[in-house]
Amino acid sequence: MYYYILTLHFIGALLLAGMPLLSLLALLPSGIRKGEWQPMADFAVAFERLAWPLFLLMLGSGAALTWVNSTNVRDLWTLGSQAGQVLLGKTLGTTGFALLWWGWRYQVVPRLGRWRLSWVVGYLLMLSMVALALSEWGILYMAGFFLSEGQGI
C-alpha cells in the first residue's frame, strides 16, 4: 500500500515539475503569427487547469504516506509529531509553490514577469519538483517496486 501511495506522490511531483517548464516554453517566441493555433501555449493552459488537483494529490498522498508510515507507532505523541511535521512541510511547500507559481504566471506583483527573478523562480520551482520526483523514484526503485515478481535487488 505504501508504494502505491508513493507512486501517486511520484506522479504528482512529475506533473508539477512539468508545469513551469511548459509555461516557460509557452512564453518563448514561437514565430507563429497572431491568431493562429499555438500548441505550446494551449498545452500550458490545459496543464495549468490540472494544477490545483495536483496540489491536492500531493497533499493527500503526503498525508496518506504519513499515516501508513506511522501505523506501527504505538506512542500517540510520536505519531502526532511525525504526522504534523510531514503535513506541515507538505502544506507549506505546496502553498508556497502555488503562491509563487500563480504570482509569477499572472504577475500578481507588478512587473514580476519582466524581471529575471521570475525566470529564476520558475526554474528553481521546476528543479525542486524534479528533485522530489527523483528522490521518490529512488525510494521506489530501492524497494524493488519496479521489479517483476520473483526478482530481487
The answer on pLDDT for 4 being more than 70 is yes
- Which pLDDT value is given to residue 31? 46
Flag whether 150 is in a domain: no
Flag whether 153 is in a domain: no
Give the list of residues 6+ apart from residue 12 with CB closer than 8 angstroms, or none: 54, 57, 58, 61
Give the closest residue to 131 by CA, choosing from 50, 48, 16.
16
- What is the arithmetic mean of pLDDT over 138-146? 69
Q: Annotate 110-149 with b (16+ C-beta within 10 A) or e (fewer).
A: eeebeeeebeebbeebbebbbebbeebbeebeeeeeeeee
**8: helix, strand or coil:** helix
Flag whether 147 is in a domain: no
- Mean pLDDT score of the chain: 61
Segment 73-82, tens digit of pLDDT: 555 555 566 5
Flag whether 148 is in a domain: no
Residue 85: all three cell numbers together: 511535521
C-alpha to C-alpha distance for 130 and 119, rounded to whole angstroms: 16
Report residue 7's pLDDT band, with 50, 70 and 90 as the boundaries. Answer: confident
Give the closest residue to 57 by CA, choosing from 6, 100, 19, 9.
9
Which residues span the domain enclosing 62? 2-28+36-142
Segment 28-49, tens digit of pLDDT: 555 445 555 455 555 556 556 6
What is the number of domains present in the chain? 1
E strand or H helix at 97, and its extent?
helix 76-105
The answer on pLDDT for 1 being more than 50 is yes
Flag whether 149 is in a domain: no
Segment 50-62, tens digit of pLDDT: 666 766 776 677 6
- Which pLDDT value is given to residue 11? 72
Task: State pTM to two decimals.
Answer: 0.43
Flag whether 60 is in a domain: yes
Segment 86-114, tens digit of pLDDT: 556 565 566 666 655 565 555 555 555 55
Flag whether 152 is in a domain: no
Flag whether 126 is in a domain: yes
